[in-house]
Amino acid sequence: MTRKVADCRNTPSVMNCTLTISGEEEEVVLAATEHAVSVHGHEDTPELRAEVRASLEDEKVPA
């Protein structure tokens, strides 16, 4: 199984946030959405979740 990674450094933001969240896609979408709401002041909307989901990358597993 490939885990997904949400990396705040990839998200243009006024805050220099370096948080990364990894796990199964649904877990990451949930956690990253909650993070965006609580830390970045976003609103929890379907649009935000779609943005979060679109920004996910496959976790790079060291060879």
Site residues for Zn ion per CB under 5 A? 8, 17, 19
3-class DSSP state for residue 13? coil
Q: 17 or 59: whose CB is closer to Zn ion?
A: 17
Distance CA 1, CA 29 (A): 17
| Shortest spacing between CB 31 and Zn ion, in angstroms | 11
If the CB atoms of residues 17 and 48 are measured against Zn ion, the closer one turns out to be: 17
Give the nearest distance from C-beta 40 to Zn ion in angstroms: 6
Alpha helical stretches, state H, the chain:
25-40, 46-55
